[in-house]
Structure 1
Amino acid sequence: MEVKMKAVPVIAVFDVGKTNKKLFLFDEQYKIVFERSARFTETVDEDGDPCENLESLRLSVFDSLREVFKNPAFEIRAINFATYGASFVYVDEDGKPLAPLYNYLKEYPKALQNQFYAAYGGEAEFSHRAASPVLGSLNSGMQLYRVKYEKPELFRQIRYALHLPQYLSYLISGEAYSDLTSIGCHTNLWDFTRNDYHEWVRKEGIIDKLAPIVPSDSVIPAAFPGNNYAVGAGFHDSSAALVPYLINFHEPFILLSTGTWCISLNPFNSIPLTADELENDCLCYLQYEGKPVKASRLFAGYEHEQQVKRIAAHFGTDVIAYRSVPYDPQLITTLQQANQSDRSEEQRGGGLKESAFGKRDLSQFVSDTAAYHQLMLDLVNQQYISTNRVLQGTAAKRIFVDGGFSKNVIFMNLLAAAFPQLEVFAAYMAQATAVGAALAIHKSWNTKPLPNDIVELKYYAAGTVLS
């Protein structure tokens, strides 16, 4: 007699980045039991600027779900979404998209930007309230303001402007909602001093285009009859990546999330942003429980990539050689002594736009290894300044580093040396963003207790690594 295997209860999470779109199924222990990824060719908007192919993304969501629903090995109990932020989908009364998914890097008209800030208190005062630097289209609320003034006909037709995670949730649930992790991420929509939408959102009639706010851990029944799975409201990816850490660690910490951008997130810092911090790329996010998270950004991953190409070209090596350079403490000491004057200057002023390395003459280095160690020194000097901006005045005792630089032993050792008073850990966690979106709605689908061993840590003492 054939024994039927019991289907594994799972949650499906769509993790949508600018480049890779992934679907994960996690079991009740948060282990990945299925994975599928896709990449789409970008399309262009009416101005010829590149943008996401929204129709490909929509079809991909349905195709992927159809595939996993047909698989008898899994019982899908919930679905959630984590995507990049600062992107709106404008839908009409029938839920159909009315316009392209405009790219958050699209250039913003200067005159319109000046008009906006002049009307609402000036750049400095407004940025203080909205807890975000002036970032043009990356302040997603400004995209709606632009539609109102440049495309009034389109503006009139919009029933809802949904941030991308909430649009994907809407596709499955049929219910339109807004979520604080998307609203509270450099959108210019939220007034952090009042913990409510900024006054301009009501004055300009933008409020009528925004769906009701629901808590980030809420779920909606699926739109398809006969299905009993729950649908999450969707997450901004930076906030989703923080969830596993907030669940696993209760002592104050900083999460340094590294990739193209290195973002220092301090969920235990609610001190209002100063003008100096705003000028130096600090901002606030709202985490999934609705509390502010002070953050500072550094373009260090991008800088690393560019400078490694320069080193490889100069020394006639391959960029791949720099993926795992061993840490040489004696070389670091020699380099530090050689550029003591630079270092003190860097620590004093600390220009964060680009590191000192870009101006260095590569012929001064005896080897490519010496040049690479100097690059890491310069990047960590910048990282020290950037992370310190969100660390000051708080009780954080630990830094968790995840993403690309967590695997770079030179970066990790130098960071530990830069913060000798803190415990510095490399944190290893497969797919933190997707796991965060799953954990946030844990109680709606998972019968097991929350796991407490989801993040694997490796401790770096100031200058040495202890496995």
Structure 2
Amino acid sequence: MPLPRFIAVIDIGKTNAKVVLIDAHTKQQLAARSTPNSVRQDGPYPHADVERLWAFILESLSALQVEHGVDGISITTHGATAALLAADQLALPVLDYEFAGPASSAAAYGAVRPDFAETLSPSLPNGLNIGAQLFWQRQAFAAEFATVTAILTYPQYWAWRLTGVMASEVTSLGCHSDLWAPEQGDFSSLVTSQGWRALFPAVRPAASVLGPIKGEIASTTGLRAETPVTCGIHDSNASLLPHLGAHAEPFTILSTGTWAIAMTVGGDTSQLDPARDSLANVDAHGRPVPTARFMGGREFDMLAPGAVTPSDADVDAVITGDIQALPSFMPGVGPFPSHVGCWTGDADALSPGQRTAAVSLYLALVTQACLGLCGLGQQIIIEGPLARNGLFAATLAALTGVPVLASGDATGTSLGASMLFGGTAGKPSGVPVAPLDHKGLPAYAARWASRLG
């Protein structure tokens, strides 16, 4: 199949959903549409508003077809999400992984979930392990769960809606789900012991074309009936895809958005700590990638709502004044899951610039802690919103002592997903970051670490 030129990428993040049009020849974004990814609070539990998202997707595809033409569709979504189908309908709403419901069956689930050595998937709060979601849903909604005929991870749910073809895929199955054994390249013992194996469709590569769009979608959107759709990929792995084979290993990609996710390609999984939110993701080729993460984007928005670019004086005031944020403001996740987030002083007394500086330093320090778990590559490439935070990047460069590149490409996830159709991205570009030059930073970082015990 010739490489489609204009590729519409359906990119559903935890906070926002987008449909982005990528020119596969130039690797440039031509157009994008976005909508908040709102969570519905009605029904049996908080859940994804899939019908609103579906309407948004169809409207966006139609508009992009009129403006530029669409030659192919690729899909990427956040992880920790699955759709339970009863024939061609949802048996239960698509659960929001931040809902605490699955915690009510945590003890029983803990007795059956596989060891970390098998899955490289830590026990996480709420519904962040898909296995915990499924276990709880079967207990709490036994009648509805009994009707389930298929379980689809989230990118593949949207691929099915577009094509009518069901598939499983390793990057979503391998995303701290408890459902996959990365070293064996197969479903985990949990899937077998719980009788779920027959509910998962056959595993297909992320880059495989599941089929053309359904006829009614072609009629609704104006797209050609033969428009191909890929199987789809987990969003962090989409960000990783353009870099595979492009750098000397080991190297670290820091993919940022709601989450800040550090992935060290060619790294060692032996330092992963299941109690500190470190794990192995599985890349598009099925290989384990040591990973550590925290909700960096969520914490930045929470702690610095009036963010501005801090001045040198703001940075100096924070460092010399020993103004520190200590983790974790999102309980249960990140490298300090049990530590309760707090400030060392009165955060409300800070100017917007000082507060932004303090939060940027905080994020760099937590990222450094993550790199102690997943391994520090020979260089770090930052993608997503934090690549535009100069103080964060400069502090990370100073703390780690390795080259840091800030990607100027705001579409790393979408570009990676578009590459599922083939082609290469060329060597991913990034702007070298000069390390923060402040003599007080080492002592500031040492005091931060000492306060965590």
| TM-score, length of structure 1 as denominator length | 0.80
- Correspondence 1:292-371 to 2 at 5 A: 292-308=288-304, 319=306, 322-327=307-312, 331=316, 335=319, 352-353=336-337, 358-362=342-346
Distance 2:35 2:295 in 1: 26
Distance 2:350 2:195 in 1: 63
Q: Taking structure 1 as reference, are residues 115 and 60 closer, same or farther at Cα in structure 2, changes over 3 Å only?
A: same
Which residue type is aligned with residue 411 of structure 1?
Answer: F
> Which string of whole-angstrom CA distances, capped at 9 and with x for unpartnered residues, describes residues 40-64 of structure 1?
65423533x4321122222333333
Does residue 138 (structure 1) correspond to residue 128 (structure 2)? The answer is yes
> Which string of whole-angstrom CA distances, capped at 9 and with x for unpartnered residues, describes residues 416-439 of structure 1?
11112x111111113111111101
- Please report how far the alpha carbon of residue 326 of structure 1 lies from its aligned counterpart in structure 2 after TM superposition: 3.1
Which residue type is aligned with residue 82 of structure 1?
Answer: T
Match of 1:220 among 203, 206, 210: 210
- Correspondence 1:101-120 to 2 at 5 A: 101-110=94-103, 112-120=105-113
Does residue 437 (structure 1) correspond to residue 417 (structure 2)? The answer is yes
- Please report how far the alpha carbon of residue 207 of structure 1 lies from its aligned counterpart in structure 2 after TM superposition: 0.7
Moved more, 50-59 or 285-294: 50-59
Moved more, 189-198 or 277-286: 189-198
Q: What does residue 444 of structure 2 align with?
A: none
Distance 1:164 1:414 in 2: 35
- Aligned residues, how many? 418
Which residue type is aligned with residue 196 of structure 1?
Answer: D
- Please report how far the alpha carbon of residue 179 of structure 1 lies from its aligned counterpart in structure 2 after TM superposition: 0.7
Kept after mapping to 1: 8 A contact 2:72/2:227: yes
Q: Taking structure 1 as reference, are residues 357 and 31 closer, same or farther at Cα in structure 2, changes over 3 Å only?
A: same
Does residue 32 (structure 1) correspond to residue 22 (structure 2)? The answer is no
Distance 1:91 1:202 in 2: 19
Kept after mapping to 1: 8 A contact 2:315/2:354: no
- Please report how far the alpha carbon of residue 177 of structure 1 lies from its aligned counterpart in structure 2 after TM superposition: 0.1
Percent of residue pairs bearing the same amino acid type: 24
> Which string of whole-angstrom CA distances, capped at 9 and with x for unpartnered residues, describes residues 189-217 of structure 1?
01234332111211211111111100111
Aligned partner of residue 221 in structure 1, secondary structure: strand
Q: What does residue 459 of structure 1 align with?
A: 432
Does residue 290 (structure 1) correspond to residue 286 (structure 2)? The answer is yes
- Please report how far the alpha carbon of residue 464 of structure 1 lies from its aligned counterpart in structure 2 after TM superposition: 5.9
- Please report how far the alpha carbon of residue 353 of structure 1 lies from its aligned counterpart in structure 2 after TM superposition: 4.4
* The structure with more radius of gyration: 1
Aligned partner of residue 101 in structure 2, secondary structure: coil
Give 5+ residue unaligned stretches, structure 2. Answer: 216-223, 327-333, 439-453
Aligned partner of residue 217 in structure 1, secondary structure: coil
> Which string of whole-angstrom CA distances, capped at 9 and with x for unpartnered residues, describes residues 375-420 of structure 1?
444443332222222125xxx2101112222222222221111112
Q: What does residue 411 of structure 1 align with?
A: 392
Kept after mapping to 1: 8 A contact 2:253/2:263: yes
Kept after mapping to 2: 8 A contact 1:352/1:386: no
Q: What does residue 16 of structure 1 align with?
A: 12
Q: Taking structure 1 as reference, are residues 86 and 307 closer, same or farther at Cα in structure 2, changes over 3 Å only?
A: closer
- Please report how far the alpha carbon of residue 21 of structure 1 lies from its aligned counterpart in structure 2 after TM superposition: 2.0
How much is the aligned-residue C-alpha RMSD, in angstroms? 3.2
| TM-score, length of structure 2 as denominator length | 0.82
Q: What does residue 100 of structure 1 align with?
A: 93
- Please report how far the alpha carbon of residue 110 of structure 1 lies from its aligned counterpart in structure 2 after TM superposition: 4.4
- Correspondence 1:37-52 to 2 at 5 A: 37-39=34-36, 41-47=38-44, 49-52=45-48
- Please report how far the alpha carbon of residue 356 of structure 1 lies from its aligned counterpart in structure 2 after TM superposition: 9.9
Which residue type is aligned with residue 103 of structure 1?
Answer: D
Kept after mapping to 1: 8 A contact 2:311/2:353: no
Kept after mapping to 2: 8 A contact 1:89/1:161: yes
Match of 1:79 among 49, 55, 73: 73
Kept after mapping to 1: 8 A contact 2:315/2:358: no
Q: What does residue 445 of structure 2 align with?
A: none
- Please report how far the alpha carbon of residue 458 of structure 1 lies from its aligned counterpart in structure 2 after TM superposition: 1.4
Kept after mapping to 2: 8 A contact 1:355/1:378: no
Q: Taking structure 1 as reference, are residues 296 and 327 closer, same or farther at Cα in structure 2, changes over 3 Å only?
A: farther
Moved more, 405-414 or 206-215: 405-414
Distance 2:271 2:26 in 1: 38
Give 5+ residue unaligned stretches, structure 1. Answer: 1-7, 310-318, 344-349, 444-449
Q: Taking structure 1 as reference, are residues 173 and 360 closer, same or farther at Cα in structure 2, changes over 3 Å only?
A: same
Q: What does residue 262 of structure 2 align with?
A: 264
